[in-house]
Each structure stands twice: as structure tokens, then as C-alpha cells.
Structure 1
């Protein structure tokens, strides 16, 4: 493929024009050609809405503007193409469009593209919008450590068989009490982005205060025939080493 072709001949959209503007001229024609190559047929046959494509291209252009000229690097066109290819399946969700725009721009940034692999785009393509938002919450709201808790109830006697009495809950930085989205936890864990455990948990005054708030809230609403058989379980979610690199590439 000749990446020096002028995509304006094929996709004369405002988004592509913006992409080829002065703010990204060092990479504009190359990226514009890749956009054309990947999205021409899906747009032509109505598989992708042009409005959603324009939004992705505009978001990508905006992210490119943030890269210092000396750090712009068009040598990783394979990574950029991989991100665009995977983005085709997620354009209906704005959060994911932004994350793909970030990944495309990161792949064109020499400060980041040294640690990016094709797996980043594959992983991002496998996230739902809810998965993506929860990952973003762990990184940006919980600062890589999310603590949660839940109640169990022993069936006959303590330390014997038990069942979960409540769902798992956590508290956001602004004090919202929220159910842990176990479906997203399972997805993020399976992709190697996070580690979830209730076999061990962090310590410290701030963390213990959070656990205490979760426990007291859950016990206020929990019902049991024998409250002596109720126990509070602590858990935590941390970002893996791969998850940290992924976050640097797909989140602002």
C-alpha cells in the first residue's frame, strides 16, 4: 500500500481535512491514507456511520495535536493500522472511540510507541463500553487500587461452608457507594489488565476507613437469621504491569 496517496480524493470529509491540517501535517497524509484504506468500504456500504467515523478521525486529530513535533513518528504504521482495523467494530460507543483515538495517536508518538504491541488494539477491541469505563475508573478515580467488600453468611457454623450474602461493593472518590461490576472484572482479568483478589488486601488508615464504611453500610441493610454467622470479606483490584502500559496508551 502506498501511504502517500491523497485520501481527500476518496474521503472528502471535514474530519480528514482536519487530520491533514497544519497541526498534524508531519503525519497527516500517512494517517489519512490509512484511514481511507481501512474505512472506505465499511462507510461505502453503510456498515459504519460516517458521523461516527468523523468523530474518530476528529478525536485522533486532536490527540495528534498534543504530540510535540519532535516526538511525532510515522514509522509504526503497522501498529496504527492494527488500531484502526480493530476500531471498526467499536465506533458506536464514544468512550471507545476516544480510547482508540488515543491508541492511534500513542502509536504515532515515539515516547509511547516503543512499548505498544498489536495486542493493545486486540485487547481494546474486546472491551465493552462498560468494561472500558470501569477500567478508566480503576486508573483515574481509584489510582490503580480499588478496594471492595461484601458479606458472607456461614451456613451452620463459622469457618464452615458459606454463601455470599451480598454483592461486592466499593466507594468512589466522591463517596458514591457502587456495586462492583463482576462481569467487567472478569473480562479485564481475563485480558491481563487487572488482578482481583479477596485472599489478601492492602492495609493503611485510608484503606481501612474505606473498608469500615463499606462494612457498616452493608450490615445496615443485610438480613440474616443469625447475625453471628455474618462475616465481612475484604478484596482489592490492582492494575497489572501490562495494564499500566495499556492505560498509558489508551487513556489521557
Structure 2
């Protein structure tokens, strides 16, 4: 892994200061210089694979920068944001969603009106998000339901979980990719973007009625009917998720509604 050395950092810092003027050479030249200093040189095989995506990424940054009004250009962009973002992003440019998030993050730092919203943690958050994580965060509401199915043992409080835990079901909004979405919601929670609560649930309990149509629940009903001496009941254990303040800020900065990368 190539690490930015002090000379490169100094050169990038100098290049960034020229962005404040939107000079005759234009942002493409300046961003090209930063790109070269940050990315270094790929070997021939890698270059042939990523060349097109590199250009798409550079174009995305260029376009977003060009949209910033001249009087809103940040004259002192934070190299501790842009440097790590460029350094990290070279491993993710084959993914459109990651390219767009990194490009949007960099553009936010270059905008005087947006820079205070940019958090240093955002670079690592993007690195640790899968495409499905990004898609899910993009479409879920501020608060929503999740549940798991529990098959209770006869005469006690012990139970066996049926199917996937933390199932998200929002008709018309979340596709029926329950296993991957459950993994994604847990990763988003690990990253601090979403909070999962297994104690509290939504006030409108009728929202959870749809879970009783799931195959795992129906299998639980069959198990109780076929083995009444072994199983007591099957139940939907209700819970909820909430996007955290950090999650809302991340969405605002890195995946604004106008972006259509999902």
C-alpha cells in the first residue's frame, strides 16, 4: 500500500490552494496533479483493468467541483480529509457507489458551506460499507421495523431462532433480500450510522403483522402443530432501527438525495 510521503503531501496542499481561484488551467489539471501524487503508478495489468473507472472517478470529482460557485470555494481545504479520501478511494473505484460517495465527500470539503459537516470518520465508513450497505442506508426511513422469529421450547422460556435475525421488511421500499439486508443493517449499526433496538418497537404494532406471512414463521407454526409436546409457540420478536445523528450527517454529506448511484 502506497502511503503519502511529506513531499507528496506538500505538493497536494499547494495544488489544493489553487482550486480557490479556479484558474485558467481549470480543476481538471489540478485534480489530475493530486490524482497522480496520490495514486502513483499502477502496473500495466492493473492499469488496463481500472483505467476507465479511474476516469469516471476523476470526472465525478471534476463535475462536482465545477458545480461549486466561485465564491463558495474553500480556500483552505483540509488535507487530513482529502488526502486520506483520495488514498483510500483508489481501492474502491470499480464500485460506482463508492466512487460517488468519495467524490461527494471530497467536493463537500472543497465547499465552504459544506466543509463543517465533513467528519474524518466518513473516509473509513465508506471503506467499510458494501454496495448493499450503501443501498440500504440510501432507502430506509428514519425509523423502521425489524424482527426475528422465535420457536419456544415447551414449558420454558428457551427458544430457537428461525431464519435470519434482524429482518427488515418495508413493502415497496426494501427488496426481499432479507439475509443480505440483515447483514447490512448490523454493519451499519457497527459503523454508528444506525441504532438497532431489540427491546423497543414501533408504536403501531400492526406493522409487524406482515412478518407472520414469512416462510420462517409458517414453518414455526407447522413445527408447533406437528410437535406439540416439544414446542410451545412461535412468535415474532419485534424490534426497530433508527438512523443515528451520525448516519443522517453521513447521508447528507456523502449520499445526498440528488445522487442516483443506487
After TM superposition, the score normalised by the length of structure 2 is: 0.75
Is residue 2:11 matched to residue 1:34? no
Q: How does 1:67-216 map to 2 (within 5 A)?
A: 67-78=68-79, 79-136=81-138, 141-157=139-155, 160-168=157-165, 169-174=167-172, 176-180=175-179, 181-204=181-204, 208-216=205-213
CA displacement, residues 17-41 of structure 1 (integer Å, 9 cap, x when unaligned): xxx898x94x555433222211232
Residues 150 and 215 in structure 1, CA contact (< 8 A), matched pair in contact too: no
| Cα shift at 1:209 | 4.0
Question: C-alpha separation between the residues in 1 aligned to 2:218 and 2:233?
Answer: 15
Equivalent in the alignment of 2:260: none
Corresponding position of 2:7:
none
Q: What SS does the corresponding residue of 2:164 show, helix, strand or coil?
A: coil
Other-structure match for 1:240:
244
- Once the 2 structures are TM-superposed, how far is the Cα of residue 130 of structure 1 from its aligned partner? 2.4
Provide the alpha-carbon RMSD of the alignment: 2.9
Consecutive unaligned residues of structure 1, counting only runs of 5 or more, are: 7-19
Provide the rounded CA distance (Å) in 2 between the counterparts of 1:153 and 1:95: 39
Ranges in structure 2 where 5+ consecutive residues have no aligned partner? 1-9, 17-21, 226-231, 257-262
Q: Is the 8 A contact 1:196 1:238 kept in 2?
A: yes
Give, in angstroms, the shift of residue 57 of structure 1: 0.9
Give the superposition deviation at 1:234: 1.1
User: How many equivalent residue pairs?
Assistant: 229
Q: In the alignment, which residue of structure 1 is the partner of 2:6?
A: none
Contact 1:152 1:166 in 2 (8 A): no
1:251 has 2:255 as partner? yes
Q: Which residue of 1 aligns with 2:56?
A: 55
Deviation at 1:172, TM superposition (A): 3.4
Cα distance in 2 between the residues matched to 1:217 and 1:147: 15
Distance 2:122 2:29 in 1: 24
TM norm structure 1: 0.77
Confirm or deny that 1:2 pairs with 2:11.
Answer: yes
Asked if 1 retains the 8 angstrom alpha-carbon contact of 2:145 and 2:239, the reply is: yes
Shift of 1:94: 1.3
